[in-house]
Structure 1
Amino acid sequence: MSDSASDRSGGAATGAPAAPRNTPLSRRLIASEVACVLALSLGAAAVSATISFVGTATAPGGLAEQTASLVDPRAGADRPWLDLTWQVYAVVFAMAPVALVLYLLHRDARSGATIGFDVRRPGFDITRGALLAAVIGAGGLVVYLVSWQLGLSTTVSPSSLNDHWWALPVLLLQAVKNGVLEEVIVVGYLMLRMGQMGWSPVRAALTSSLLRATYHLYQGVGMFVGNLVMGLVFCWFYQRYGRVMPLVVAHTVIDVVTFVGSVYLIGRVGWLPG
């Protein structure tokens, strides 16, 4: 009789705490969770980019006279091992917010597969990602060149790494990191949570795209607009197909072309600023 009573009381007779019930997340709790995730990742980057933009826009010479460097050396050229160590460190720990998001999804009885961050459909992901990369990449290059000529964008220097054997692998890692970090958080996770809070698809897409544009604002007004359009296209794709992996592929390909192209083209072709 005592054992049965103990079972019904959730272990109260032995002093053990009752097992918590798996209740749905409230809107307030979801909003708090999203705020924390963004404060640790791309929300903080958006604030930093805004401050950087104000400083650049008010500097002598205007935006076009300023340079925005994406990947910089972290040690002197005479200490390549230290620079490499810092570069790898930056890439690895930049993925911590992604790990946090995946943990939060698992805690909520979901997973990366919920947002299409998996390898179940490699053919679809690669082909659609490559197509998106071609369209968005070409359009982004045109926006950058036109806005730079109009003085609305900074001169973007994708890489200023010293000429070490590991420079290209580090740039490839940076491209993958950018694709995973941005698309998993800004599209997959954020769109899921905004939907859970009852936001309309249009409102969610606009918010996600505005965030993407804002953390690229340090590159100038032109790239703000270009990334806003990119965000809207990516959100539309995600809402239609429910998969973030093609967006990761597309973003990675765009950044690989940008980083590698900067190494081999800037300074060798007259139409590319730098």
Structure 2
Amino acid sequence: MTAPTPADERPVGIAPPPSPRAYRRRITTEIWIVLGLSLGRSGLYAVVNIIDRLTAGPPLADQSTTLNPSRSDRPWLDLTYQLLQIGFALVPVALALYLLSANGRSAVRRIGLDLTRPWRDLGIGVALAAALGIPGLGLYAAARALGLAVEVQASALNAAWWTIPVLILAALQNALVEEVIVVGYLMERLRELRWSTPAILVTSALLRGSYHLYQGWGAFVGNAIMGLVFAEYYRRKRRVMPLVMAHTVMDVVVFVGYALVPDEWIAALGLD
């Protein structure tokens, strides 16, 4: 039998494996970094924003927010700003996927972000979008009527040939950032930390609700419910692609459809 190699005789460059405690500490730090660069930061800003809104004087129903504002009066500069914003917003997604692939396994396959079954994923995504999006619109209208939500303008981009393509790209960007980080990445990491299933589901859902607080309490509740449904789907199926498709469909309908719906319909729904 070969005797164990003393620590000072190990080959140079080969470090001992980390202890379980050190590994958990590293993963916890990693989670804080990823969230601090992405939706955790957005959640904190949204919390401060809702405090600002509640203490500013006017009720929430008299306040408004714009999701896709123009950034320049010159169309080519506006387009450049929009594309840069979309591109840099996806950097944390790349980071999360890179970190999940540290053990050599494809992160895309690990969380089911692949296109191995596109039509089935699209069908599930559309079904989820309809099941959650239609009640969500009703919840928003009710929250507006009760004074629990601000007026949300889904798009304020200047009309140009690229307006609708950019809105579609913005919808896809939102879907990738939220579903990859809040569902795929976060749930995988919390599972590695041996959190209980209810704690993982609730944490993912509350994080999703938190960064929508700037829209009011209705948006927080609606997105938290959506977060529970999406997190439970991922727990069962381990595929994030249907969630990305569902989220993209919902945002495209809101972003693009908002500009196409007649003003009188918007007023009737309480969306003005």
Q: What amino acid maps onto 1:259 in structure 2?
A: F
Q: Which of 84, 87, 90 pairs up with 1:89?
A: 84
Shift of 1:215: 0.2
Counterpart in the other structure of 2:95: 100
The total of aligned residue pairs comes to 259
Q: Which of 169, 172, 184 pairs up with 1:188?
A: 184
The percentage of aligned residue pairs carrying the same residue is 46
Counterpart in the other structure of 1:4: none
Report matched runs for 1:15-30 at 5 Å.
17-20=12-15, 26-30=23-27
Q: Which of 6, 31, 43 pairs up with 2:28?
A: 31
Q: What amino acid maps onto 1:51 in structure 2?
A: V
Counterpart in the other structure of 1:244: 240
Q: What amino acid maps onto 1:121 in structure 2?
A: R
Counterpart in the other structure of 1:226: 222
Aligned-partner Cα distance in 1 for 2:139–2:180: 25
Cα deviation code 1:239-260 (max 9, x no counterpart)? 1111011000000000000001
Q: What amino acid maps onto 2:37 in structure 1?
A: L
Q: What amino acid maps onto 2:93 in structure 1?
A: V
Report matched runs for 1:1-274 at 5 Å.
17-20=12-15, 26-76=23-73, 79-110=74-105, 111-265=107-261, 267-269=263-265, 270-272=267-269, 273-274=271-272
Aligned-partner Cα distance in 2 for 1:119–1:176: 15
Cα deviation code 1:167-207 (max 9, x no counterpart)? 11110000000001100000000000000001011100000
RMSD of the alignment, in Å?
A: 1.5
Cα deviation code 1:9-34 (max 9, x no counterpart)? 67x6xxxx424466577111110000
Counterpart in the other structure of 2:5: none
Q: What amino acid maps onto 2:55 in structure 1?
A: T
Aligned-partner Cα distance in 2 for 1:28–1:213: 26
Question: 1:135 and 1:160, CA in 2 relative to 1: closer, same or farther beyond 3 A?
Answer: same
Shift of 1:109: 2.7
Shift of 1:61: 2.4
For residue 26 of structure 1, give the secondary structure of its aligned residue in structure 2: helix
For residue 119 of structure 1, give the secondary structure of its aligned residue in structure 2: coil
Aligned-partner Cα distance in 1 for 2:260–2:120: 31
For residue 164 of structure 1, give the secondary structure of its aligned residue in structure 2: coil
Aligned-partner Cα distance in 1 for 2:261–2:60: 22
Shift of 1:265: 1.4
